[in-house]
């Protein structure tokens, strides 16, 4: 039997994983040792470049047909820039931390103590696990096998299959709950081959996102000479700004989106002076009477709560809400990250660390092609692993406009 040497990160001590008879390595084998991993890469000896390992239908293929896996030590690929080997708090705080070099935060915190307290608080209040729905289960999958599968990701607190009450027959979906948010995020980020079927794991609709804290604020009384750089620069001292939108033609208001919804919330109702102009910050989700004031035509208010959802850009320093003098966080009950997870549709999105907004525009319709849908193969088994296409974001602008203009 052929063994493949795999380490979590380049340079780590490798573990030997057994390859299949056909020479491929099952991703499930990989994930049994490296939960959450979705692929392998290795450093090519000649080019010195890192090469990805071909992956298809739950299998990883050796780089060379003849020599197989060779003497390389492979290291793991994790989805969406999820990094591992961090302290648990840091992990929890940055499930989407990009692997790309973080953009250095000019306002690096000088208040680590306060920050860590705030972080802990956020972890407690917002990074709570929710039940996750598992769609597309094989009829034969049991609660035990479901649990067994997901235990490679972390502690499973609950695994249940929904069954017909009379027959006891599985309805083909179930629920699972993890003990750690990190596990939950990894599960949401991955695809899952369970008992021979590709299954989809999502935050259930019933969890809703009805009461999430918006990241976006409305900035009124702007003058024309306040440009987006001015806004970004000014508001960055309160926390990471992920988006600035100024309606054109000039309409004396703009929108600023923060990474941290608490920061956005804390600014609402305040007056701020930018370039000598007193601007007023308020909630970007318009009140009823503001619909008229803002000439709203298509606010989408209460039609899905997509405030700010296009604006999550993990940029290295993630939850750092700014320096001490400006660090203001009010406690909120919202589950920001589960909301993020849902908005991300639970699917890989390689755009997570780009500076652009994400589409599409409907939080409950993340639009990723369901892999189950459209599988018309004669076999009852799903063969179409590639239908998990990355829903890469296309257009950037016009997303927010449709909400607020």
Partner DNA sequence: GTTGAGCGTT
Helix then strand count (H, E) for the chain reads 10, 18
Interface residue with DNA, options 15, 26, 89, 158 (CB under 7 A) = 158
387 sits near DNA (criterion: CB under 7 A)? no
First CA to last CA distance, the chain: 63
Q: Which residue number, 223 or 384, has a Cβ lying nearer to DNA?
A: 384
Instruction: State how far the Cα of 286 lies from the Cα of 403, in Å rounded to an integer.
Output: 10
Of the residues 108, 128, 171, 211, which one makes contact with DNA according to CB under 7 A: 171
Q: Does residue 61 interact with DNA by CB under 7 A?
A: no
For the chain, the residue count is 405
The upper half-sphere exposure of residue 219, i.e. CA atoms within 13 Å in the direction of its Cβ, equals 31
Total residues contacting DNA by CB under 7 A comes to 29
Helices (H), 309-373: 336-343
Binding mask 342-381 for DNA (x = CB under 7 A): ----------------------------x-xx-x----x-
Q: Applying CB under 7 A, does 41 fall inside the site for DNA?
A: no
What is the closest distance, in whole angstroms, from the C-beta atom of residue 390 to DNA in the complex? 19
H-state helical runs in 313-356? 336-343
Residues in contact with DNA, shown as a per-residue x/- string from 195 to 234 under the rule CB under 7 A: --x----x-xxxx---------------------------
Q: Beta partners for 170?
A: 163
The dihedrals phi and psi of 400, each to the nearest 5 degrees, come to -70, -30
Span interacting with DNA, options 19-27, 168-176, 262-270, 315-323, rule CB under 7 A: 168-176
DSSP character at residue 171: E
Nearest approach in angstroms of CB 197 to DNA is 6
142 near DNA, judged by CB under 7 A:
no
Options 147, 162, 232, 237; binder of DNA; rule CB under 7 A = 162
**DSSP H helical segments within 254-379, as ranges?**
261-267, 290-293, 336-343
- Interaction between residue 306 and DNA (CB under 7 A): no
- Torsion, CA 220, CA 225, CA 231, CA 232, rounded to 10: 150
Figure out which of the listed residues 47, 85, 167, 386 binds DNA, where binding follows CB under 7 A: 167
Q: How many CB atoms lie within 10 A of CB 210?
A: 9
Choose the stretch contacting DNA; rule: CB under 7 A; options: 157-165, 236-244, 288-296, 383-391. Answer: 157-165
Nearest-angstrom CA–CA distance, 23 and 151: 26
Instruction: Indicate the residue among 177 and 232 with the shorter CB distance to DNA.
Output: 177
Rg of the chain, C-alpha, whole Å? 23
Chain residues that interact with DNA, rule: CB under 7 A: 130-131, 133, 135-139, 158, 160, 162, 165, 167, 169, 171-173, 175, 197, 202, 204-207, 370, 372-373, 375, 380
């Amino acid at each position: 039997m052929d063994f493949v040497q795999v380490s979590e990160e380049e340079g780590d001590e490798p573990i030997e994983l057994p390859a299949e008879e056909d020479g491929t390595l099952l991703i499930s084998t990989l994930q049994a040792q490296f939960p959450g991993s979705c692929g392998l890469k290795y450093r090519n000896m000649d080019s010195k470049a890192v090469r990805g390992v071909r992956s298809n239908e739950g299998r990883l293929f050796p780089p060379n047909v003849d020599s197989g896996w060779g003497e390389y030590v492979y290291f793991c690929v994790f989805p969406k820039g999820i990094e591992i080997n961090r302290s648990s708090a840091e992990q929890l705080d940055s499930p989407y931390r990009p692997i790309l070099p973080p953009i250095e935060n000019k306002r690096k915190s000088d208040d680590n103590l306060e920050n860590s307290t705030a972080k802990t608080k956020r972890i407690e209040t917002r990074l709570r696990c929710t039940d996750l729905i598992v769609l597309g289960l094989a009829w034969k999958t049991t609660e035990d096998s479901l649990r067994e599968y997901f235990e490679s990701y972390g502690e499973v607190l609950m695994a249940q299959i929904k069954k017909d009450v009379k027959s006891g027959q599985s309805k083909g979906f179930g629920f699972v709950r993890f003990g750690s948010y990190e596990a939950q995020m990894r599960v949401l980020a991955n695809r899952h081959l369970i008992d021979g079927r590709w299954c989809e794991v999502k935050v259930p609709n019933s969890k809703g996102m009805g009461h999430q804290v918006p990241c976006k604020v409305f900035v009124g009384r702007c003058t024309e000479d306040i440009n987006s750089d001015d806004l970004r620069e000014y508001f960055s001292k309160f926390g990471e700004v992920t988006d600035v939108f100024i309606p054109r033609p000039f309409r004396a208001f703009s929108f600023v989106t923060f990474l941290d919804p608490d920061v956005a919330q804390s600014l609402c109702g305040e007056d701020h002076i930018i370039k000598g102009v007193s601007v007023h910050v308020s909630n970007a989700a318009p009140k009823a009477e503001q619909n008229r004031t803002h000439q709203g035509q298509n606010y989408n208010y209460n039609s899905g709560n997509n405030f700010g959802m296009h604006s999550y850009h993990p940029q290295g320093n993630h939850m750092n809400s700014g320096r001490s003098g400006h660090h203001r966080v009010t406690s909120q009950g919202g589950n920001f990250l589960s909301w993020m997870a849902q908005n991300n549709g639970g699917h890989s999105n390689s755009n997570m660390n780009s500076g652009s907004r994400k589409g599409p525009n409907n939080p409950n319709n993340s639009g990723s092609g369901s892999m189950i849908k459209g599988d018309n193969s004669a076999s009852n088994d799903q063969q179409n692993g590639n239908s998990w296409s990355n829903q890469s974001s296309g257009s950037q602008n016009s997303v927010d406009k449709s909400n607020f203009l």
